[in-house]
Chains A and B, each alone.
Chain A
Amino acid sequence: MSAAAQVAEPGPEPADRPAPGAAEPAGARLELSDLHVGYGGAPVLHGVDLVVEPGGILALLGANGAGKTTLLRTLAGFVRPSSGGIRFGGLDLAARSVEDRARLGIAQVPEGRSVVAELTVEENLRLGALRLPRRERAAALAGAYERFDALARRRSSFGHQLSGGERQQLALARALVTRPRLLVLDEPSLGLAPKIVAQLFGVLRDAAEQDGLTVLLAEQNVTSALSIADRGVVLHLGRVVADRPAAELAADPDLRHAYLGF
């Protein structure tokens, strides 16, 4: 197969994941093995191996151009790997479309506060709740408003009327409303005030600890990311150069200096 990444074609229709409340772990294991991805013949990821255990937070670290966003877009299904495997909750994701992966319980918050600007806060959250049983949707929205009271006050505002912090809160709230088994975030702290970052990361920590959610957090804000993560993986020019407990990574000045720039 060519090394060039291709846009993934829709895969076969999967059975939706078990209904919330059924006997299943909240989080699920994600395993990337020997993943190679490139664009138009230019390789970006070179044999990435990575495991996120259920209920854990894994911080994916690396400078610009390290391949973090490519890895996340591959995981989402927007980019097809040239070789290697992605397994989630024991299922091979290779033939699954973007939509199917979402329906299996992978929620992504892409970089750039990706709310639907033309919809209201309430509609954005309803969109996230669409895959839930009808009777559970109202409770899911109520939970989101409880977590983010700023959103409760602005439920009728359109996405384009929100501040940057509110948009990121909405993007995270909407992802959590889907009741995911794996939450994937790309640079959620980018351009936000420290107070908002602390709130967002506190919500992530709670979701992992209390609800058993699996979180993959791609961040350049290394200190904040490692402060809530169980493990950290450093990506450099498309290769994993470190995969260690978060506390160990935070305490390794040589590694930080060599690959993370501080």
Chain B
Amino acid sequence: MDRLLFLLATGLARGAVFALFALSLVLIWRAARIVNFAQGAMAVTAAYVAFAVTALTGSYWVGLASGLAAAALLGLAVERGVMRFASHASPLSGVIIAIGLVMVLQSLLGMLAGQTVRPMAAPFDESPIVVGGVPILSPYDAFVLVVALAVMAGLALLFGRTSLGLQLRAAAFAPEVSRLLGVRAARMTTIGWMLSAAVAALAALLLIPTELGLNPHSTDVLFVYAFAVAVVGGLDSPAGALVGGLVVGVAMSLVTGYLGATVAPIAVLVLLVGVLLVRPGGIFSAREARTA
């Protein structure tokens, strides 16, 4: 029972990070109808910036802020410099450009920083707190959980309660109609990319210190899991990303705890295949339109 509680708690913390990363994929999908396969590479690039700034200043927090700012700028550069010119007629063009970006970014990082896995320091203790003899979450896991949930709540507020959020949603769903109402749809798409890149970088920065380590390929696995989460939840659905992330995180934690770490990726893929067979659009996939 103690073990189950521990696995559930750590699974929730890990799942919140998956949810965050999946949410970043959902944001871009909704804004530009592109599955951004470069999201992981962009996030790890930002993580290197955070690593360098932390090393320079000695402050985790300054490094974190710099990493997020770098991610937003990278999101802007990718959207304005590359993705804006992708053909909208074929979803493949965006995918191919994204895969090309992965190769470019990871090669550049490899050349500049090498392939060595570098440890990144966590700002809080990573050993579990024991409550009544039962190990629950470490202070760092609690921090990860709180930050991830707070960011998701913040995004929900942004999109649900603010004029900017309304314009972001409108521009994503109906760019032409939005433009006719004076909404600068292209600017909204850019903001969506910047926001999404920063959210993905945050997810990576939360997971790198304890699970991934830092090298140019650190986020490959995170991307795969988060992509599975986004598809399981429904690529159009932020709620799906949240629920899917938590489900996948807890499932992975339980499978790792009881069956071994090597079985966990298989469990995620089984879940993905199962959901796609039963509900191809994802569990929280969008509505059916009224036709009369």
Contact = CB atoms under 8 A, between A and B. Distances in A.
Contacts of B185: 99
A160 B286 CA distance: 11
A178 B181 contact: yes
Given A10-B186, A99-B182, A116 B174 contact: yes
Contacts of B153: none
Interface in B171-194: 173-174, 176-186
Given A78-B176, A158-B287, A118 B169 contact: yes
Contacts of B166: 119, 123, 126-127, 130
B179 A127 contact: no
Given A114-B174, A130-B166, A160 B181 contact: no
B181 A127 contact: yes
A164 B163 contact: no
B178 A127 contact: yes
B182 A131 contact: yes
A102 B180 contact: yes
A80 B288 CA distance: 36
Given A119-B173, A162-B290, A130 B183 contact: yes
Contact of A110 (B169, B177, B178, B182): B177
A114 B288 CA distance: 17
Given A118-B169, A118-B286, A128 B181 contact: yes
Contact of B173 (A10, A102, A103, A117): A117
B182 A102 contact: yes
Interface in B273-292: 286-290, 292
B80 to A, nearest CB: 13
A117 B177 CA distance: 11
A141 interface: no
A160 B163 CA distance: 21
Contacts, number: 77
A130 B181 contact: yes
Contact of B182 (A10, A103, A126, A162): A103
B173 A130 contact: no
A102 B292 contact: no
A98 interface: yes
Contacts of A110: 176-177, 180
Interface residues of A, number: 30
A160 B289 CA distance: 5
Contacts of B176: 78, 110, 114
B179 A116 contact: no
A130 B176 CA distance: 16
B105 interface: no
B224 interface: no
B171 to A, nearest CB: 10
B165 to A, nearest CB: 10
Interface in A90-148: 98-99, 102-103, 107-108, 110, 114-119, 123, 126-128, 130-131
B170 interface: yes
A130 B163 contact: yes
Interface string B251-292: 000000000000000000000000000000000001111101
A116 B178 contact: yes
Interface string B214-249: 000000000000000000000000000000000000
A2 interface: no
A114 B186 CA distance: 19
B268 to A, nearest CB: 29
A210 interface: no
Contacts of A115: 177
A102 B184 CA distance: 10
Interface of B: 163, 166-167, 169-170, 173-174, 176-186, 286-290, 292
Interface of A: 10, 76, 78, 98-99, 102-103, 107-108, 110, 114-119, 123, 126-128, 130-131, 158, 160-164, 174, 178
15 contacts: A99-B184, A116-B178, A117-B173, A117-B174, A117-B289, A119-B169, A119-B170, A126-B163, A127-B170, A128-B181, A130-B163, A160-B288, A160-B289, A162-B290, A178-B182
A-B pairs, 4 with minimum CB distance = A102-B182, A160-B289, A98-B179, A118-B173
Given A114-B177, A126-B166, 20 more contacts: A78-B176, A99-B179, A99-B183, A102-B179, A103-B182, A107-B181, A108-B180, A110-B176, A110-B177, A110-B180, A115-B177, A117-B174, A118-B173, A123-B166, A127-B166, A127-B178, A127-B181, A160-B288, A160-B289, A164-B292
